[in-house]
Amino acid sequence: MTPPASDAVDEPFILPVASGRATWRRLRRLLKEQRRPVVVVMCIQGVASAAGLVGPRVLEDVINNTTRAGESGRIDAAVAVFAVALVVATLLTGLSRGLGAVLGERVLARLREDLVTRVLDLPMGVVERAGSGDLLTRASTDVDDLSYTVRAGLPQLLVASVTVVLLVAALVWTAPLLALALVPSIPVVVASARWYLRRARPAYQREMASFARVNSDISESVSAGRTIEAFRLGPARVAQTDRHIKTWIDWERTTLGLRTVFFGASEISYVIPLVLTVLLGGLLHLHHLLSVGAITAAALYAQQLIGPVDVLLSWMDEVQVASASLSRVLGVHEIEPAPTTTAEPIDDQVAAHALHFAYHDDRDVLRGVDLVPTPGSRVAVVGPSGAGKSTMALLLAGIFPPRRGRVTVGGVDAHLIPPTRLRREIALVTQEHHLFAASIADNLRLVAPDASDAELYAALDAVGAGTTVRNLPRGLDTRIGSAGSVLSPGVAQQIAIARLVLADPHTLVLDEATSLLDPGAARHLERSVARLLEGRTVIAISHRLHTANDADVIVVVEGGRITESGSHDQLIAAAGPYAALWRTWQGEPGVEPAAH
Ligand X SMILES: Nc1ncnc2c1ncn2[C@@H]1O[C@H](COP(=O)(O)OP(=O)(O)OP(=O)(O)O)[C@@H](O)[C@H]1O
Residues with Cβ within 8 Å of 279's Cβ and at least 6 positions away in sequence, in order, are none
Q: Residue 272 or residue 365: which is nearer to ligand X going by CB?
A: 365
Q: Taking the complex as a whole, how short is the minimal distance between the CB of residue 414 and ligand X, in angstroms? A: 17
Is the CB of 158 or the CB of 393 nearer to ligand X? Answer: 393
Residue 325 contact partner, candidates ligand X, Mg ion, none, CB within 5 to 8 A by sort of partner: none
User: Would you count residue 390 as binding Mg ion (CB under 5 A)?
Assistant: yes
Q: Which amino acid is at 87?
A: V
At its nearest, how many Å lie between ligand X and the CB of residue 566?
20
DSSP characters for 285-349? Answer: HHTTSS-HHHHHHHHHHHHHHHHHHHHHHHHHHHHHHHHHHHHHHHHGGGSPPPP---PPP-SS-
Q: Which of 244, 389, 499, 506 is in the footprint of ligand X by CB under 6 A?
A: 389
In whole angstroms, the minimum distance from the beta carbon of 128 to ligand X comes to 6
The four Cα atoms 561, 562, 564, 565 give a dihedral, to 10 degrees, of 180
Nearer to ligand X, 491 or 525 (CB): 525
Stretch of residues binding Mg ion (CB under 5 A), selected from 4-12, 121-129, 387-395, 585-593: 387-395
Query: Which residue lies nearer to ligand X by CB, 251 or 357?
Result: 357
Tell whether residue 514 is a contact of Mg ion (CB under 5 A). Answer: no
Number of residues interacting with Mg ion: please give it, by CB under 5 A.
1
Q: Which is nearer to Mg ion, 174 or 390 (CB)?
A: 390
Task: For the beta carbon of residue 222, count every other beta carbon within 10 angstroms.
Answer: 9
Which one of ligand X, Mg ion, none interacts with residue 388, CB within 5 to 8 A by kind? ligand X
Q: Does 542 bind ligand X (CB under 6 A)?
A: no
Q: Which stretch binds ligand X (CB under 6 A): 24-32, 269-277, 379-387, 575-583?
A: 379-387
R_g of the chain, CA atoms, integer Å: 35
Count of beta carbons in the 10 Å neighbourhood of residue 208: 25
**Three-class SS state of 523:** helix
- Identity of residue 586: Q
H or E, element range at 45: helix 35-66
For residue 147, the partner it binds in Mg ion, ligand X, none, with Cβ less than 5 to 8 A by kind, is none
Q: Residue 359 binds which entry of Mg ion, ligand X, none, with Cβ cut-offs from 5 to 8 Å by kind? A: ligand X
Question: Please, what is the minimum distance in Å from the beta carbon of residue 357 to ligand X?
Answer: 9
Q: What share of the chain is helix, strand, coil (3-state, %, to 5)?
A: 65, 10, 25
255 Cβ neighbours under 8 A, 6+ residues apart: 200, 203, 204, 207
- The smaller minimum CB distance to ligand X, of residues 366 and 538, is found at 366
- What are 561's strand-pairing partners? 558
Segment near ligand X (CB under 6 A); pick from 103-111, 384-392, 516-524, 572-580: 384-392
Position among 52, 345, 388, 398 found at the interface with ligand X (CB under 6 A): 388
Residue 341 has φ and ψ, to the nearest 5°, of -130, 160
- Least CB distance from residue 392 to ligand X, whole Å? 7
Rounded to the nearest 10°, the torsion over CA 443, 447, 450, 454 is -60
**Does 386 interact with ligand X (rule: CB under 6 A)?**
yes
Among 49, 174, 323, 390, binds ligand X (CB under 6 A): 390
Measuring CA to CA, how many Å separate 248 from each of 16, 34, 142, 203, 205? 20, 37, 16, 11, 11
Q: Does 123 bind ligand X (CB under 6 A)?
A: no
> In angstroms, what is the minimal distance from the CB of 511 to Mg ion?
6
Nearer to Mg ion, 192 or 390 (CB): 390
148's contact among ligand X, Mg ion, none, with CB below 5 to 8 A by partner kind, is none
* Dihedral angle of Cα 394, 396, 398, 399, to the nearest 10 degrees: 0
Residue 389 Cβ vs Mg ion, minimum distance, rounded to whole Å = 5
Work out whether 488 is an interface residue with ligand X (CB under 6 A): no
Segment interacting with ligand X (CB under 6 A) among 22-30, 52-60, 228-236, 380-388: 380-388
Q: Looking at residues 328 to 367 of the shown chain, list those that interact with ligand X (rule: CB under 6 A).
A: 359, 365
Report which residue's Cβ sits closest to Mg ion: 390
- 553 beta partners: 379
Of 216 and 390, nearer to Mg ion (C-beta) is 390
The interface region with ligand X, picked from 145-153, 381-389, 409-417, 419-427 by CB under 6 A, is 381-389
For the chain, the residue count is 596
Long-range CB contacts for residues 256-265, cutoff 8 Å, separation at least 24: 257/1, 258/1, 258/196, 258/199, 258/200, 258/203, 259/317, 261/1, 261/192, 261/195, 261/196, 262/192, 262/193, 262/195, 262/196, 262/317, 263/313, 263/314, 263/317, 265/188, 265/189, 265/191, 265/192
The one segment of 40-48, 276-284, 356-364, 389-397 that binds Mg ion by CB under 5 A:
389-397
Residues that bind ligand X (CB under 6 A): 359, 365, 383, 385-391
Residues that bind Mg ion (CB under 5 A): 390
